[in-house]
């Protein structure tokens, strides 16, 4: 099969029929399947899907709402296509862009093509401005230069999509995961439509989740295989400051001055203990990292291809 289109949905009952019609119109000439993942809908979405299901549909119904990342991961796990496209089920993404993205991927020998929403049809205050700020912050901290991290419309080669390691709420950071995998990626302009039915599942409150995930992604990107480099550096810095303060106070005490009531004494002791704790945390993190790889026979590298006689 050439293509699998993975679409997480939740409470999108009014969008199902137009979604199927748009997919059939845009992808009719391509050997493809549609993998819909229902993420705990409560409005009759599953029944509407079953009433209008095309022959090439695979429906995965989750037992409760897990979130977009988990639903997307479930769809990718069940996809059989040589290429895997992901998109939202609210028809703000346009499936008519998928053939163009497939051609761009093949013509430029890429592993992933990410959509960039041109003329984005969303509210300015609650969607566009926070998104712009978040995109700039993510680019700065991760050094992955994608302009639109929030666009779900992407096309992947199968081996990349199935090895992304999507957990929690990390779908916003797929470009970072793609870079960690070592895949070749580019971004192209795609259409973006205003939502016609239903309402967005996301509000300004997700900002704090994005910030938390960003901190994790920066750590994961830089220190997942060498956590001691982070905890050791912070730990030894803190330990050095603490010991220096304590040494200074020891000299002051020897010179006959009273140090019991000095705030520097408390600070020196606290910094010393923080340093010791960070260093020991680094040792524990190193053991966890090694156990992760060795217990599952994982390798800390991915081979793209091997050339020559084996």
Q: Where are the domains of the chain?
A: 3-222, 227-295
pTM of the predicted protein model: 0.76
pLDDT grade for 170, boundaries at 50, 70 and 90: confident
Contacts of 71 (CB under 8 A, 6+ apart): 8, 10, 37, 38, 39, 62
Residue 302's pLDDT is 58
Count Cα atoms within 13 angstroms, Cβ side, for 96.
9
**Most confident by average pLDDT, 57-61, 177-181, 224-228:** 57-61
Mean pLDDT within 26-43: 92
Residue 67's pLDDT is 86
Provide DSSP, 261-297. Answer: T-HHHHHHHHHHHHHHHHHHHHHHHHHHHHHHHHHTT
Helix (H, G, I), strand (E, B) or coil at 151: coil
Sign of CA dihedral 8, 13, 14, 16: positive
pLDDT grade for 309, boundaries at 50, 70 and 90: low
Mean pLDDT within 81-98: 93
String of b and e for 157-168 (b: at least 16 CB within 10 Å)? bbebbeebebee
pLDDT grade for 8, boundaries at 50, 70 and 90: very high
Provide DSSP, 191-206. Answer: -B----SS--S--TTH
Mean pLDDT within 77-89: 94
Cα gap 61→233, rounded to integer Å: 46
The per-residue pLDDT for range 140-154, each reduced to its tens digit, is 888 887 888 888 999
The per-residue pLDDT for range 235-273, each reduced to its tens digit, is 999 999 999 999 999 999 898 888 888 889 999 999 999
Cα gap 59→77, rounded to integer Å: 13
pLDDT at 293 over 80: no
Assigned CATH for 3-222: 3.90.550.10
Tokens of 97: 């862009």
Mean pLDDT across the chain: 85
Residue 76's pLDDT is 93
The per-residue pLDDT for range 126-144, each reduced to its tens digit, is 556 666 777 777 778 888 8
CB 176 within 8 A of CB 144: yes
Cα gap 221→235, rounded to integer Å: 20
Residue 187's pLDDT is 94
First to last CA, the chain: 29
Mean pLDDT within 271-291: 90
pLDDT grade for 1, boundaries at 50, 70 and 90: confident
């Amino acid at each position: 099969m050439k293509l699998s289109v993975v679409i997480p949905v939740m409470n999108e009952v009014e969008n199902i029929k137009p979604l199927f019609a748009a997919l059939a119109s845009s992808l009719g000439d391509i050997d493809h399947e549609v993998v819909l993942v229902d993420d705990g809908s409560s409005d009759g979405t599953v029944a509407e899907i079953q009433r209008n299901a095309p022959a090439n549909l695979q429906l995965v119904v989750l037992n409760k709402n897990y979130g977009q990342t988990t639903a997307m991961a479930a769809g990718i796990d069940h996809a059989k296509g040589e290429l895997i496209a992901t998109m939202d089920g609210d028809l703000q993404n346009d499936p008519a862009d998928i053939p163009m993205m497939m051609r761009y991927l093949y013509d430029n020998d890429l592993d992933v093509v990410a959509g960039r929403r041109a003329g984005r049809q969303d509210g300015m205050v609650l969607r566009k401005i926070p998104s712009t700020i978040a995109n700039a912050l993510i680019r700065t901290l991760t050094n992955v230069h994608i302009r639109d991290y929030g666009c779900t419309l992407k096309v992947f080669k199968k081996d990349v999509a199935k090895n992304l390691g999507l957990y929690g709420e990390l779908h916003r950071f797929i470009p970072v995961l793609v870079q960690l995998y070592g895949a070749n990626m580019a971004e192209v302009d795609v259409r973006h439509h205003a939502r016609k039915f239903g309402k967005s599942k996301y509000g300004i409150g997700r900002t704090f989740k994005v910030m938390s995930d960003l901190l994790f992604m920066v750590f994961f990107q830089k220190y997942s295989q060498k956590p001691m480099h982070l905890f050791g550096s912070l730990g030894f810095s803190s330990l050095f400051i603490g010991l220096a303060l304590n040494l200074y106070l020891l000299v002051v005490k020897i010179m006959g001055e009273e140090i019991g009531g000095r705030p520097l004494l408390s600070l020196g002791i606290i910094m010393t203990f923080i340093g010791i704790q960070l260093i020991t945390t680094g040792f524990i993190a190193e053991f966890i990292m090694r156990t992760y790889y060795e217990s599952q026979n994982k390798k800390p590298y991915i081979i793209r291809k091997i050339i020559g006689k084996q």
